[in-house]
Amino acid sequence: MAVDATQPYDDSNIFARILRGELPSKKVYEDEHVLAFHDINPLAPTHILVIPKGAYVSWDDFSEKASDAEIAAFVRASGRIAREAGLVESGYRVLANTGPNSGQEVPHLHLHVFAGRPLGPMLAR
Ligand code: DGP
């Protein structure tokens, strides 16, 4: 079901459960503020999800309420993950769905990192 990005954080969401270690994930990267793991249903040869450890519903929530340290860590880690995965030369795409029109399904901010093939148009036409 599409997420209403204006709702309060629900700590039973699937990524909160991954962060608490209640569900497994294929970890790519972790630091004080950030966790990254492979998407369970990859849409490209490389499909990594980068999430903040803090309780933020969406990009909107995070960009409004996260500390400068959390935001810096998230942006730096996202670039580093792509770089260390060797994605810079061939290219990659980052995307954060936010709210109903975007199709956001999990109500914890996540940045998709797609790569490994030509990714086509930015949006379906
Ligand atoms: P979005 O539509 O932007 O909310 O994308 C949610 C993504 O989360 C989707 O690509 C599938 C992925 N996903 C859902 N459940 C799990 C899970 O339990 N583990 C992992 N690794 N990914 C999940």
pTM of the model: 0.97
In CATH, which superfamily holds the domain spanning 14-109? HIT-like (3.30.428.10)
93-119 pLDDT per residue, tens? 999 999 999 999 999 999 999 999 999
Q: Of the listed 33, 108, 110, 112, which one is catalytic?
A: 110
Instruction: Count the alpha carbons within 13 Å of 84 in the hemisphere toward its beta carbon.
Output: 10
* CB distance 103 to ligand 1 below 6 Å: yes
In DSSP terms, which residues pair with 27 in a beta bridge?
A: 37
25-67 pLDDT per residue, tens? 999 999 999 999 999 999 999 999 999 999 999 999 999 999 9
Question: What residue segments make up the domains of the chain, in order of their start?
Answer: 14-109
Annotated catalytic residue 108: no
Rounded to the nearest angstrom, the distance between the alpha carbon of 69 and the centre of ligand 1 is: 25
Alpha-carbon gap, residue 107 to 14, rounded angstroms = 8
* CB distance 39 to ligand 1 below 6 Å: yes
The two structure tokens encoding residue 39: 């998407």
In DSSP terms, which residues pair with 36 in a beta bridge?
A: 29, 50
Alpha-carbon gap, residue 50 to 39, rounded angstroms = 10
Alpha-carbon gap, residue 8 to 83, rounded angstroms = 33
